[in-house]
């Protein structure tokens, strides 16, 4: 099978509000696939659906050929060992130092000796350039360093699939450059399949092999980065060029200004 993840006719409701309405997305093996879109369109929710942390209201998600939401708990956990996820906040365990954070999945799922775990952890930290920081606590790390440690932890068990939730948000240019390079290099060197969820257009288009843009619960555009850059349709153009007004209006829906100012209608 050429696609590691297949999302078919996905519907998802939150508090009766539709987040996804018939989304179809294919994630090919060995590629970096970006899922982009404005804030609040459910990009993080999509990753949680792929990881089966949330249940869709309709449709199916196949991961490695398995309908992930129909798996037993044991089978789901076995499949999750093949998946890594980099959370927006990093999700590092605050009571463990950098070394123990990266060692955590190895200690939980393997019976490797301490010497072997040390070798593996230091190797992973070397890949993300933080071997020298292995004794630091998460509170002593910058945001970019925390994400790199989380990345080292996410690849500790050699997963097939790795999902990045807004990896570039809030990063300075150097940290952003480091993360961009790491994501691409690790994907190619380790033979991973990567899904990047982001609204940082330039960085994401630089490293993605294929791009989906979602808005209003639907896929509004897809293609290679070059094809996406060439798109000229309303909402996609507004998103890619960062235009303040357009199909996504600058103003939140409201009564007319005259109505609110002159008639004292705000209660």
Partner 1 sequence: MITCIINSITALGRFGIDTLQELGKAGTLLFRVVFRLPDVRKGFPLVMQQVYAEGVLSLLIIIVSGVFIGMVVALQGYHTLVKFGAAQQLGPLVALSVTRELGPVVTALLFAGRAGSAITAEIGLMKATDQLSSMEMMAVDPLQRVISPRLWGGFISMPLLTIIFNLVAIYGAYLVGVKWLGLDAGAFWSNMQSSVDFHSDVMNGIIKSVVFGLVVIWISVYQGYETAPTSAGIAGATTRTVVYSSLAILGLDFVLTAMMIGGW
Site residues (CB under 8 A) for partner 1?
48, 51, 53, 77-78, 80-81, 83-85, 87-94, 104-105, 108-109, 150, 153, 157
Minimum CB distance to partner 1, residue 79 (Å): 8
**Is the CB of 94 or the CB of 267 nearer to partner 1?**
94
**Is the CB of 159 or the CB of 217 nearer to partner 1?**
159
Q: Are 59 and 49 in contact (CB under 8 A)?
A: no
Q: What is the residue whose two structure tokens read 């910058």?
A: 142
**Is the CB of 186 or the CB of 215 nearer to partner 1?**
186
Measured CA to CA in angstroms, residue 29 lies from 55, 64, 83 at distances of 24, 10, 13
Minimum CB distance to partner 1, residue 106 (Å): 10
- d(CA 76, CA 99) in angstroms, rounded, equals 27
**Is the CB of 83 or the CB of 180 nearer to partner 1?**
83
Minimum CB distance to partner 1, residue 9 (Å): 24
Minimum CB distance to partner 1, residue 249 (Å): 28
**Is the CB of 147 or the CB of 199 nearer to partner 1?**
147
Minimum CB distance to partner 1, residue 237 (Å): 33
Minimum CB distance to partner 1, residue 47 (Å): 9
Looking only at Cα atoms, what is the longest distance across the chain? 75
**Is the CB of 8 or the CB of 87 nearer to partner 1?**
87
Kindly state the tokens that stand for 101. 């954070």
**DSSP structure string for 123-189:** HHHHHTT-GGGTT--GGGS-HHHHHHHHHHHHTTT--SEEEEESTTTT--HHHHHHHHHHHHHHHHH
Q: What are the residues facing 18 on neighbouring strands?
A: 13
**Is the CB of 161 or the CB of 183 nearer to partner 1?**
161
Residues 6 or more apart whose Cβ sits within 8 Å of residue 122: 131, 134
- d(CA 98, CA 89) in angstroms, rounded, equals 15
Minimum CB distance to partner 1, residue 91 (Å): 3
Minimum CB distance to partner 1, residue 150 (Å): 8
**Is the CB of 8 or the CB of 88 nearer to partner 1?**
88
């Amino acid at each position: 099978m050429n696609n590691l993840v297949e999302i078919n006719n996905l519907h998802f409701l939150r508090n009766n509000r539709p987040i996804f309405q018939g989304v179809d997305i294919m994630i090919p093996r060995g590629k970096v696939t970006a899922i982009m879109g404005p804030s609040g369109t459910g990009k993080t929710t999509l990753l949680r659906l792929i990881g089966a942390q949330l249940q869709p209201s309709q449709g199916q998600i196949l991961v490695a050929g398995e309908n992930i939401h129909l798996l037993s708990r044991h089978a789901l956990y076995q499949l999750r060992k093949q998946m890594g996820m980099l959370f927006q906040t990093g999700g590092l365990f605050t009571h463990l130092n950098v070394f123990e954070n990266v060692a955590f999945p190895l200690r939980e799922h393997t019976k490797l000796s301490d010497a072997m775990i040390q070798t593996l952890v230091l190797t992973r930290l070397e890949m993300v350039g933080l071997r020298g920081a292995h004794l630091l606590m998460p509170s002593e790390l910058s945001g970019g360093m925390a994400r790199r440690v989380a990345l080292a932890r996410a690849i500790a068990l050699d997963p097939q699939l790795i999902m990045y939730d807004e990896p570039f948000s809030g990063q300075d240019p150097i940290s952003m450059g480091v993360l961009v390079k790491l994501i691409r290099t690790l994907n190619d060197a380790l033979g991973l399949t990567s899904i990047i969820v982001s609204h940082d257009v330039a960085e994401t288009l630089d490293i993605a092999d294929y791009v989906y843009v979602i808005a209003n619960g639907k896929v509004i555009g897809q293609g290679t980065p070059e094809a996406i850059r060439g798109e000229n349709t309303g909402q996609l153009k507004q998103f890619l060029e960062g235009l303040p007004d357009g199909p996504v209006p600058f103003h939140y829906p409201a009564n007319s200004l005259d109505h609110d100012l002159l008639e004292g209608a705000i209660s």
